[in-house]
Amino acid sequence: MPEEPREPREPREPQDQVRHSRADSYSALASPSIYGNDGVLETSEAGIGEIDDGPFGSGGADVALRDARGARDPGGWRLMRFVAFAIAALAAVAFIAALMLGNLWPASGELSFGAGDRDPSSVRKIQQVWDALNQDFYQPVDQDLMIERAAAAMAASVGDEYTTYYTKDEMLRFTEHTSGHYTGIGVYVATDESGKLRVTGMFEGSAAEEAGVLVGDEIDSVDGRSVDEFANNDEVINSIRGEAGTNVTIRFYRPSISGHVEFAITRRDVKMTNIEAALIHVGASPPGEGEGGGDGAAPEGGDGASPPGEGESEGGGAAPEGGGADSGDGASPPDADEGGGLPSGIKEIWYPDAGGMIGTIGYIRMLMFDGDASQDFEALLKKLLEAGASGLVIDLRDNPGGNFEECLKITSLLIGEGTIVTVESRSGEAVRTAKAQKVAEPYKILINESSASASEIVAGAVKDHGTGRLVGARTFGKGLVQLVIPLADGSGLKYTQSRYFTPSGESIHEKGIEPDLAVDQPEAYVGMPVAAIPFEEDAQLRAALQDFSEDFAKLASAGAPPE
């Protein structure tokens, strides 16, 4: 949604970290006052509920009161008795209305719109539509569905593409995806040309892998029910998921034997892979091979698994919070090939030709910022440095964003101290600052047109502080922050709560962040996801690796050459 023009602001001095808490937002929604300016809506099976205009009825007539002798006595005991009666009557009506409201809003018993700038008849209109359809539509209506769609319509009415209502299933998937965990059997599936769900990869050590499931297996039935009996493939995926410790029996067609296999698999917690790491030997070939003999294998390719942005994950399908581009359904499965002697989770890649640059570079690709992002990042960073990395490439391309707090923790490691971002909401501003031990090694951050939201917070802070170099293409340009809140029935609401500014005071919304070193991909790969580009033909990665030459030259002149 376009924002009002705003002049760049002067950089601020770092302040204590202050932010509007989620608990405040929850209470504002969950505890509305019972009575607003427009009264309380009620649901009545007898007829359309009305909102009284006053104690004298809709006409508001001046009622003349007289005493026992017939004389006019505006201030006498009859006036007092009438007022007392009116108050008692209103209290009774309010009590009955609150009880009757249980038909429409059973969780709270009442609904109030509070004070606001609106036409009072609009509130009454909702009641009238509800009663007309429930009482006079030619066949019974689904009341829960009516409420569900009304909630979705309210979210859509604000005209913000990032504000949306989530059904229960959508909220569950969103929560699983952004937390980085879900309960299932740990496989990736994709729909093949025949419409069947085919296993395209598995998480290492997953329940499916231990049971004997293989990449290429096609799902034929779940708990004795043929996949042809499900309404769609989403239903098939949902039937495979379930509570940890419960069993699911899946029958697969295995093309390699032209026959079927069946496994009873116990569901368990699965940690989704949203981060990958590799140690890149730049300017070197694998031992025993001549120059140019590198395999150039991408770190996300193994076992025929679909790359990020392609296929589906049994553990998630909702697009992540905060994204500006379609990010697909999850990370690709872990590569099965890891270098001998390297720490677990680190792959080894040989990159013989990078324009003369020679060195060992740690590579970390972040597919999104899930709930474990900073913990995983620190763990892999430590392993890479211990394995001999003298520089780092942090790949945020095609990263649509994710957890706000996690991206702040990672940014702190990259800039050390200073302002990370300024967040502006209706309640005021909050400056988030970094106070951490900065990464000592030189680093580059890869960005492209699908780097959005939290990715841009990282990129903006790094660029403004000058602690690293941005390589690639201009980012998406999403300078808004969303808050996701759970609703009473398990559904959810994601809405834009604030906008943010880089440390220099710039809003990047609908503008993006320009890289320090702009690099276009080869024409054959323009518009393709990064995962689909062969590692050795990735022009942006090559440029980032070559850019270390100057860094290493400076280190050498200072008497600290890279290993």
Domain at 183-270: CATH architecture: Roll (2.30)
Distance CA(423)–CA(413), nearest Å, equals 20
- Give, in order, the Cα–Cα distances in Å from 510 to each of 1, 404, 431, 496, 521: 9, 19, 22, 15, 22
- pLDDT one digit per residue (tens) for the chain, 563 residues: 444 444 445 444 433 333 333 332 222 222 222 222 222 222 222 222 222 222 222 232 222 222 222 333 444 444 444 444 444 444 444 443 433 344 444 444 456 777 777 888 888 899 899 999 999 999 999 999 999 999 999 999 999 999 999 999 889 888 887 887 888 999 888 777 788 898 887 887 899 999 999 988 999 999 999 999 988 887 898 899 888 999 999 999 999 999 999 999 999 998 888 899 999 999 988 887 654 433 444 443 333 333 333 333 444 333 323 333 323 333 333 333 444 568 888 999 999 888 888 899 999 999 999 999 999 999 999 999 999 999 999 999 999 999 999 999 999 999 999 999 999 999 999 999 999 999 999 999 999 999 999 999 999 999 999 999 999 999 999 999 999 999 999 999 999 999 999 999 999 999 999 999 999 999 999 888 888 889 899 999 999 999 998 888 877 776 655 55
Instruction: Say which amino acid occupies 29.
Output: L
Comma-separated ranges of CATH 2.30.42.10 domains in the chain = 183-270
β-pair partners for 394: 364, 445
- Give, in order, the Cα–Cα distances in Å from 326 to each of 27, 348, 399, 512: 32, 29, 10, 17
pLDDT, one tens digit per residue, over 44-54 is 222 222 222 22
Show the beta-strand stretches assigned E in 314-427: 346-351, 359-366, 391-395, 417-425
Structure tokens, 156: 């859509």
Among the listed residues 363, 467, 368, the one whose alpha carbon sits nearest the alpha carbon of residue 413:
467
Average pLDDT over the chain reads 76
CB 249 within 8 A of CB 264: yes
Comma-separated ranges of CATH 3.90.226.10 domains in the chain = 272-418+435-477+504-557
- Residue 198, C-beta contacts closer than 8 angstroms, at least 6 positions apart: 189, 190, 191, 192, 216, 217, 218, 219
- Residue 84, C-beta contacts closer than 8 angstroms, at least 6 positions apart: none
Structure tokens, 99: 């009880």
Instruction: Say which amino acid occupies 142.
Output: D
DSSP line for 83-149: HHHHHHHHHHHHHHHHHHGGGT-TTTS-----S-SS-HHHHHHHHHHHHHHHHHSSS---HHHHHHH
Fold of 272-418+435-477+504-557: 2-enoyl-CoA Hydratase; Chain A, domain 1 (3.90.226)
